[in-house]
Structure 1
Amino acid sequence: MSLMRTAEWTAYAQWTCLVFFSIPLVELMLMAVGYACMRGGYRYAPSRFRRLVIQITTVGKEAELVRETVAAIRGYELTMPYEIWVVIEPGHDEYYPLADRVIPVPSWFRCKAVDKARALEFSRLIRVRLGWNTAETKILFVDDDTLPTRAYITKAFSGDYDLCQGVTVVNRHYATRPWPHFLLSHLDNIRARNCMIYCSCTQGITGKPLFVHGEGLCVTGLVEDVITWNHPIIASDDLVFGTNAAHAGFSWGYFHEYIQLVSPWNLMDYWKQRKRWTWGNFTAIRRRDILPLSVAIPKAVKYSMGVLSICASGVGGVLLAMGVTKVPPQAYTVFWTSFTAWFASYGLMGWINSGGEANRQRFSGHGRVMSSRARFLTFRLTQALVAVVLCVPTAVMPAIVIVGSVLTGKPRRFVTIAKTCPRL
């Protein structure tokens, strides 16, 4: 009897591993469906909106980087009525000559939220006083290290949705030295991958976001007025805002354009940033005064499944290779097909993140045009190959961060990291 039970449990474990092995195939399908819907199903209604506020919320430590971002946006020569706001903490450089408004958040201002969310709430109240808390106003939120493309801004403004956003790509200084940054920019390939798989489907198809990234989040003044940023949080303000808005019945859209980011410059900054995000999400999932239970549960399941799938598929793959796990030939076909799809998906992210104007400019102005194009193409192909080679650590790192965050405990304050290249 004992031997029979052991055999049953072994068979059960084997087929459970096969389920986890097939996840990359499911993700590949979701990516294809999400891409098709982003390309063909995104609704436009630019006549609905009267103005756009492009808001850069920053502590104030990256003044030069923010000035470059403002100048780049001005260079787009946007056709819709728009203003650029820079919202900063007091005591920092307020010289942003190309911005329409520079808003220091007074030290006396208090609300339930702290740090960045507090600054967002203060700027919201200014829009209330201006009468811009309506469905005719759109606000596009930009961080101090992010730069939306012109097409991103245009699609965000004209989208016929209460909230919308596009794909995050880490193509600013992608795969450049110092070497820790080179590695971390590739570890960030998973961010674009999550966007194109999960955000595209849960935001663009179901309208019930699983992830929300603050970089490039575009909302109407009415949504901001109803949901507010005034929640007892120190991080994950984007997740809290976006999921609460969906729960309240506001519409979500997703489009295929890029908001361009910079990866952390060293391992310590990477750890600080990801731990802050992780604990922000943990807090939001745990507390009912931040997120309703019905939207907290799917996020908790995604976290759990992420860690479990890495562990189960890793152990299962080793046992399969050692011959300990026995499965039918058909299962081997699924395993290797899924394995190939998994590596290929990260190669695709390396190709995407190494593209864009930010990287193209690195190879322009050095010799003939054809030579520049050849070097740029070689760079992209090389980074796609590196992304495939680094696939395993890229996929495993989020699970390590989650476990490490639990073991080291909740951070006591909002931690910011340097966004400017150290050698500059």
Structure 2
Amino acid sequence: MGAPGWTHYLQWACLPFFLIPLVEFYLMGVGHLYARQCYEMAPDKFRHLVIQITTVGREPDLVRETIAAIRGYALAAPHEIWVVLEPGHDDRYPLADRVITVPEDFTCKAIDKARALEFARLERAACGLNSYDTKILLIDDDTLPTKAYICAAYAGDYDLCQGVTVVNRHYASRPWKHFLLSHLDNIRTRNCLIYCSCTQGITGKPLFVHGEGLCVTGLVEDKITWDHPIVASDDLVFGTNAAYAGFSWGYFHEHIQLVSPWGFKDAWRQRKRWTWGNFTAIRRRDILPLSVAVPKAAKYAMGLVSVFASGAGALCVALGITKVPPQVHAVFWTSLVAWFASYGLMGWINSGGDANRRRFARPAGKRPDARFNAFRALQVVVAMLLCVPTAVIPAFVIIGSVLTGKPKRFVTIAKTQPGA
């Protein structure tokens, strides 16, 4: 018998990438169980909660809606709501406890959003809210935490903690661009349930950190600060530096609700901002230590390689150039099913929530409208049908971001539905 051909080695080389979905499905399950069973609560340890909405100021109606919703929760914990915005915008927020306009002449290493966060931190320090028993919950102008999210964040016996990002505000609603983009955002929830749940919750060494719903103690904020030379990814820099400094991390399984972009241009600008923010943080040692930057760089590399390797392997299988090794045939198909099922689950999660429930609400006293469950079932199917572009597009965003260059400013996008 002759030596094995190149197709023999190719099929085994592609196999590890084919199995990634099965590993991720396992991590999702482990992370979920850990968050449900091992998240430690100590509400009596904390005395005050500051819920801060940081905004440029271009979405005042949306911010006022968010504040009204939080007021409607009737939270038991002592709390106040701050709005931090840039000058020259509507600063009328009657339901907020404090509205802070960042002075134009305030300067620090950070710019744009991180600069605003740093100014608010200094204001808190002046008020004595920089201690271990004060919690600060940071949200953006398009995000709305559920009541359960706020309660879990406040009570968590950790220096930093956060929950699950879900894009269920206007999920799968018109126009068609937003319908598609909200489904492409399924990967955000999926990454959170897989990687955030395990690295924030189990290991306490976060691989990802999202600014929406990040909850920190005043002491952590005082020690780490937001004063870093960054344009974007302030959340990643803050959260990973805090872990590196020895502060504790927790992850809980409650939802912070987001709005997906309304158009393709905004989606591209948002992703490019995130990508370059992470690139800059990974590259510069005055932003992230090497031991923190390496795992993030490895995740980027693995994501790119896995997309193209598994794609090439699938093409070779379809063309008959190579075949799935008989020894692992069942494992391969199980992994493929797990991949589709994971995106279907994201469609079910993101199509839930109060925003979509209200779209299908019936008059009081009647049974829940079956149309709501039918809508959610349909989104499961759509999510599975779109799982290939949803998984592949982030790789092309990375490549496109490199080719088009680094943005010079913190780019914001519209959060309110056009024409609303």
CA contact (8 A) 2:324 2:332 kept: no
Alpha-carbon distance in 1 for matches of 2:375, 2:33: 28
After the TM superposition, which residues 329-344 of structure 1 pair with which residues of structure 2 at under 5 Å, given as runs?
Answer: 329-344=326-341
Alpha-carbon distance in 1 for matches of 2:7, 2:117: 53
Q: What is the total number of aligned residue pairs between the two structures? A: 419
Alpha-carbon distance in 1 for matches of 2:145, 2:6: 51
- Mapped pair 1:155 → 2:152: yes
- Mapped pair 1:384 → 2:397: no
Q: Which one is further off, 196-205 or 320-329? A: 320-329
Question: AA paired with 1:357?
Answer: D
**TM-score, L = length of structure 1:** 0.97
Aligned to 2:131: 134
Q: 1:401 aligned to 393, 397, 401, which one?
A: 397
Deviation by residue 1:235-264 (Cα, 9 ceiling, x = unmatched)? 000000000000000000000000000000
Alpha-carbon distance in 1 for matches of 2:369, 2:194: 30
Q: 2:290 aligned to 282, 293, 298, which one?
A: 293
Alpha-carbon distance in 2 for matches of 1:273, 1:288: 25
Alpha-carbon distance in 2 for matches of 1:147, 1:367: 25
Alpha-carbon distance in 2 for matches of 1:365, 1:388: 29
Closer, same or farther in 2 for the Cα pair 1:391/1:142, shift >3 Å?
same
Alpha-carbon distance in 2 for matches of 1:332, 1:323: 15
SS in 2 for 1:369: coil
Deviation at 1:334, TM superposition (A): 1.8
Aligned to 2:112: 115
Alpha-carbon distance in 1 for matches of 2:132, 2:275: 32
Structure 2 unaligned runs (5+)? none
Deviation at 1:369, TM superposition (A): 3.0
Alpha-carbon distance in 2 for matches of 1:178, 1:335: 37
Alpha-carbon distance in 1 for matches of 2:363, 2:285: 57
- Mapped pair 1:410 → 2:394: no
- Mapped pair 1:246 → 2:246: no
Closer, same or farther in 2 for the Cα pair 1:221/1:348, shift >3 Å?
same
- Mapped pair 1:277 → 2:279: no
Aligned to 1:422: 418
Alpha-carbon distance in 2 for matches of 1:367, 1:149: 22
After the TM superposition, which residues 203-214 of structure 1 pair with which residues of structure 2 at under 5 Å, given as runs?
Answer: 203-214=200-211
Aligned to 1:307: 304
Taking only aligned residues, the RMSD between alpha carbons, in angstroms, comes to: 1.2
Q: 1:45 aligned to 42, 45, 58, which one?
A: 42
SS in 2 for 1:204: helix
Question: AA paired with 2:289?
Answer: P
Aligned to 1:257: 254
- Mapped pair 1:266 → 2:263: yes
Question: AA paired with 1:252?
Answer: W
Deviation by residue 1:267-325 (Cα, 9 ceiling, x = unmatched)? 00000000000000000000000000001000000001001101000110111122211
Alpha-carbon distance in 2 for matches of 1:121, 1:69: 23
Aligned to 2:178: 181
CA contact (8 A) 2:110 2:230 kept: yes
* Structure 1 moving runs of 4+ over 4 Å: none
Alpha-carbon distance in 2 for matches of 1:330, 1:33: 27
SS in 1 for 2:202: coil
Alpha-carbon distance in 1 for matches of 2:348, 2:234: 30
